[in-house]
Structure 1
Amino acid sequence: MNFFYNILTHNIYKIFELIILSSIVPYIVLVMKLFNLIIPVLLLVCSYCIIIYVIEHKNIIYEFKKIFNIDIKVLVKIILRWMFASFLLFLITFYFFNDKFFMIQNNRPEILWKIMILYPIFSALPQEFIFCKFFFYRYKSIFKSDNNLVISSALFFSITHILFLNFIAPILSFIGGLLFANTYNKHRSLLLVSIEHGLYGNTLFFIGLGWYFWGGSLNY
């Protein structure tokens, strides 16, 4: 058991693990055209991360209780920042990506409410567990400082979005990744950063830029 644990916690294993999770898995999804299975694949990756996290924590009940820690004042600031950013994204989409503006409302309005409800739960939450809670704990021994962890989290978060074969998804993912990782670094709340991610993700889908983050960008 100790031998197995030592392998799992070795930095060489962690480096290979990070490469597989952030690069090889998305590459397999792209090559095998598994775009309809993106959420199941994401949940599978998240399940692996949860298992590793549980193995490495003795007081796992306490750790998972901390998931629900949230500061209302911080949440209000996040919502105000999101409202301002959403207004800017609205203008950018209208003037520079007008062909995508309100794409879902114009083509598939019946799925919009499903996205608004399901995206924060089945996409934003598992992504933030992987790239914040798991990432900051698991790869601390590799990247050392919190600043390095914030930048690295955003970078690898961006890399996973290269599979959509457009420059918008990785760029927005890097910017969003910096925002989310910085929020987690300051407050260490998975719930808080997942809410933030869900808000921005829903905004992108609502205004039309979500097209770049799904199979639509690949004509799939």
Structure 2
Amino acid sequence: MRLWIEMVLLFFALPVAIAYWVNQVADYLMPLLGAVGIACLAVLLADKQFKRFRLWHWQDFFTHLRTTLKMFIPWACLLAAVVYLIKPELFLQWPLQEPELWVLTLLIYPIVSVIPQEIIFRTFFFHRYKQILPSKMARWGLSTFVFGLVHLVYGNWVAMVLSWIGGALFGYRYMQTRSTPVVVVEHAIWGSFIFTVGLGSYLVISPP
């Protein structure tokens, strides 16, 4: 029961509360994400049943990277074409109109956003709730859902749909590789592409 309460509070109540009070807490979202990521990492490291190698498991990295790129290249091309045809005003908006913001985002996004997210929603979630969700597929499905839910903070359905798709992909990759670094790299590739192709405006908080 304790783990269920913890999961509901951390992965359901907290994201909904942040989305509700987003204008009041917008400036603290990245520090909050980092703090939760550090707390989850501390819990994992204190758990003797957690296999720490998952935090630095690089075995077969380039094999997994090739698999990632085989999926990324065709689907990224398709998504770029969709953005160009449906939202041409957004296509390559950041690289062309705000190059400094774009470059800064590509540099800091993997560190301040991707790494904490993967520790929280993949490494922590899959291990922490194994006892109450013994089915790996159940953990995969629920982690996918809450990963999309936390993006409710951006106030648009595009961010949530992209995050649900990404969450499903990253969760599957984590189950397949048992490697946090592999999933971090895949997440960073997709996220950087999203910001580049023109969908970055859906993943920032609009001023009130």
| TM-score normalised by length of structure 1 | 0.85
- 2:165 matched to 1:148? no
Question: Which one scores higher on RCO, CA 8 angstroms, separation ≥ 6?
Answer: 2
Cα deviation for residue 180 of structure 1 reads: 0.3
Give the aligned residue type for 1:171.
V
Q: Deviation digits for residues 114-166 of structure 1, max 9, x if unmatched?
A: 11121112111110111111111001112211111111110110111112111
Change (3 A) 1:158 1:66: closer
2:132, 2:196 → 1: CA distance? 38
Q: Give unpaired runs (5+ residues) of structure 1.
A: 1-11
- 1:19 pairs, out of 8, 16, 32, with 8
Q: Does 1:133 align with 2:132?
A: no
The 2-side partners of 1:219 and 1:92 are apart by 27
> How far off is 1:100 after superposition?
2.1
Partner of 1:41: 32
1:43 aligned partner, one-letter code: G
TM-score by length of 2: 0.90
Gaps of 5+ in 2: none
Deviation >6 Å, runs of 4+: none
Q: Percent identity?
A: 27
Q: Is the partner of 2:89 in helix, strand or coil?
A: helix
Mapped contact 1:112–1:206 kept (Cα < 8 A):
yes
Structure 2: distance between partners of 1:219 and 1:168: 18
Q: Is the 8 A contact 1:70 1:191 kept in 2?
A: no
> Pairwise mapping of residues 93-108 of structure 1 onto structure 2 (< 5 A)?
93-108=83-98
Give aligned pairs, total. 205
Q: Secondary structure at the match of 1:99?
A: coil
Output the CA distance in 2 between the equivalents of 1:20 and 1:202. Answer: 30
Structure 2 residue corresponding to 1:203, chosen from 188, 193, 204: 193
Conservation of the 8 A alpha-carbon contact between 2:37 and 2:120: yes
Larger helix share, 1 or 2: 1
